[in-house]
Structure 1
Amino acid sequence: MRKFAAILAGSAIALVAFSAQAAEKEVAVIVKTVNSTFWQNVQKGVDAAKKDLPEGTTTTFNGPASESAIADEVNMVENAVNRQVAGIILAPSDPDALVPAVKKAWEARIPVVLIDSQIAKSGEQYYQSFLATDNKAAGELCAKEMIAKVGTEGKIAVMSYVAGAGSEIGRVGGFIDYIKAHSKLQIVGPFYSQSQMATALNQTTDVLASNPDLKGIFGANEPTAIGMARALEQSGKAGKVVGIGFDGNEDLQKFVKDGTLAAIAVQGSFQMGELGTQTIAKLLKKEKVEKFQDTGVVLVTKENIDKPEAKNVLY
């Protein structure tokens, strides 16, 4: 009888341990890279919205060493599915490569919220919501500012990041299409930095040297725009060639303030993390969510950089 009681007691302890383990659910946040203040600001948004998640739900934050390490990101999503997380917030670095992994999450009944970039149309049914800047509109906004600053004739360059990334297609495509439709500006590039600042610096240095008549240059994401701005400084072209960047960390803010860059288009990176977490929270509570949610963009210049509209998105 004592032996039976001991077995029962042991089973009860095991049951309690299992229940405690089951009660703590994980939302896996997987971004393009952890080595960027843009994505670190997304994490701050996630942290701010943790309170909205169901009780006992934790978050993890992960990403590859670089945005071009696509296979690493795919593995991170698959690992999250294998450990049966409660939900996934994902910034996909490649629209096609991430489809099978997101499909696995769908098959495992794990809700997925995409931020910043979309996956291919073949995977639309496998995620529940997509939160991002309207990148096409943001690219057009930068193109309008470029035309306003340099006019409709002459030569401009486009410094891009990872060819084929969802955000890159909309952002750079929107910029180039608007320039072609509304001006006679000749476009040099695009050049792809693979989101490496040093690569962007070297590429921009070469572009400036081989195009002494360049009137303007567009840097399409944070590391690319920083490398571009540093090249403008080092070549003595700061303030002479109109520079327009994308994203809004401290380096880019400094370049706007000192005139190296005429403007930066800043996404709501904090909002992506915050709204992404709130959206996962709704899904876990079986509430309806919108398939697409626009997190907005603000064009920041020397004139408005200290105003609330800019401060709300700068990081």
Structure 2
Amino acid sequence: MKTFLNLGLCLGLCLFALLAGCGPKSTSTDPAADGAPEKPRVALIMKSLANEFFSTMAKGAEQHQAEHSDQYTLVVNGIKDERDLSRQVSLVEEMVASGVDAIVIAPADSKALVPALRRAKQAGIVVINIDNQLDQDILQQEDVVIPFVGPDNLAGAKKVGDHLAKALEGSSNKVAILEGIRTSFNAQQRLLGFQAAMDEAGITIVDSQSAEWEMSKANTIASSMLSEHPDIAAILAANDSMALGAVAAVKTAGRSGEVKIVGFDNITAIQTAIREGKVLATADQHGDQLAVFGIEAALQEIKGEPVSENVETPVDLVTSQTLSTP
């Protein structure tokens, strides 16, 4: 009998040890228990990576993460073209599902992305808006506050427009504007900046159309503008891709050197065009640092340190005088 009792006791102790061994172990599921807390994951969601401005933005963010690899990990995303809103919304939802700690986003549309970003914030994710500011009325309707980290696009466009106005003194006072996507706040602000500069100088805007940030569409529209208004003295493009489209249109029309062109973004190709005299000026909003500014704000919020609702970043006029020799 004693033998059976001892055997039963041994079996019982073994079973208890086995069950205890199957229980959760904090050391395997909680990195902090090993003195190595898990680094926050930051998702960068941009517009079209086919646009050099955003590929430059991505490289700047990746370089920053490499230099601060002990502080956070980075997930970089972009969409096929500027109008692919549904894909950008899907990217936000995918990042929420993957459990990132923060989303830094350059929205393709100032209104359409707000509901998805509200859901991200409700899931406990830090959200920082860069480049293109979200619509304040929609943010209020959705009862959500999302900090904006980026340049004053109106002021930047005004600087470019003022420089053009000085260059046009004594020539035709008629110009045309190539706008960005009209539902984007940065497109609206750049248009207002261009308009303000032209109004102050007494220069007439004879045509203003949206080329949706795209070079090929800008080429087509600019060609039509030049045909309909042969006395146009300049074209103001709300980004450099559209400015390059205008350069091609001016060349095709046989008016190279006659029609002045300005842009916005300071991509590599536009710097070359400025040096060659094909483009008069552009605005540099420091694309390689813009995402970095947003990432740093996100990391600040993750630490529990509040970020201002509007953090203004630099935007500078770029001309042949300001460009260094390559």
User: Which residue of structure 1 lines up, in the alignment, with residue 6 of structure 2?
Assistant: none
Code of the aligned partner of 1:123: L
Distance (whole Å) between structure 2 residues aligned to residue 235 and residue 3 of structure 1 = 88
Gap change, CA 1:54 and 1:248, over 3 Å in 2: closer
2:197 pairs with one of 155, 178, 188: 178
Distance (whole Å) between structure 1 residues aligned to residue 21 and residue 228 of structure 2 = 79
User: Would the aligned equivalents of 2:234 and 2:261 in 1 still touch at CA under 8 Å?
Assistant: yes
* 2:118 maps to 1:103: yes
User: Would the aligned equivalents of 1:238 and 1:261 in 2 still touch at CA under 8 Å?
Assistant: no
2:150 pairs with one of 128, 132, 146: 132
User: Which residue of structure 1 lines up, in the alignment, with residue 287 of structure 2?
Assistant: 269
User: Would the aligned equivalents of 1:233 and 1:260 in 2 still touch at CA under 8 Å?
Assistant: no
User: Which residue of structure 2 lines up, in the alignment, with residue 301 of structure 1?
Assistant: 319
Q: CA deviation at 1:177?
A: 3.0
Distance (whole Å) between structure 2 residues aligned to residue 192 and residue 33 of structure 1 = 17
What is the TM-score of this pair, normalised by structure 1? 0.88
Taking the TM superposition and a 5 Å limit, the aligned residue runs for 1:1-315 are 1-2=13-14, 4-12=16-24, 18-19=29-30, 23=38, 25-50=40-65, 55=70, 57-121=72-136, 122-123=138-139, 126-151=144-169, 154-180=173-199, 182-306=200-324
Q: CA deviation at 1:260?
A: 0.5
Code of the aligned partner of 1:97: A
Q: CA deviation at 1:259?
A: 0.4
Distance (whole Å) between structure 2 residues aligned to residue 4 and residue 238 of structure 1 = 87
Aligned length: 306
Code of the aligned partner of 1:60: V
Secondary structure in structure 1 of the residue aligned to 2:117: helix
Gap change, CA 1:2 and 1:199, over 3 Å in 2: farther
Code of the aligned partner of 1:148: K
Q: CA deviation at 1:257?
A: 0.7
Q: Specify every segment of 5 or more residues in structure 2 that has no aligned partner in the other structure, as ranges.
A: 1-12
Q: CA deviation at 1:250?
A: 1.8
* % same residue: 25
User: Would the aligned equivalents of 1:179 and 1:185 in 2 still touch at CA under 8 Å?
Assistant: yes
Distance (whole Å) between structure 2 residues aligned to residue 237 and residue 219 of structure 1 = 17
User: Would the aligned equivalents of 2:41 and 2:74 in 1 still touch at CA under 8 Å?
Assistant: yes
User: Would the aligned equivalents of 1:53 and 1:277 in 2 still touch at CA under 8 Å?
Assistant: no
Query: Whose radius of gyration is greater, 1 or 2?
Result: 2
RMSD: 2.5
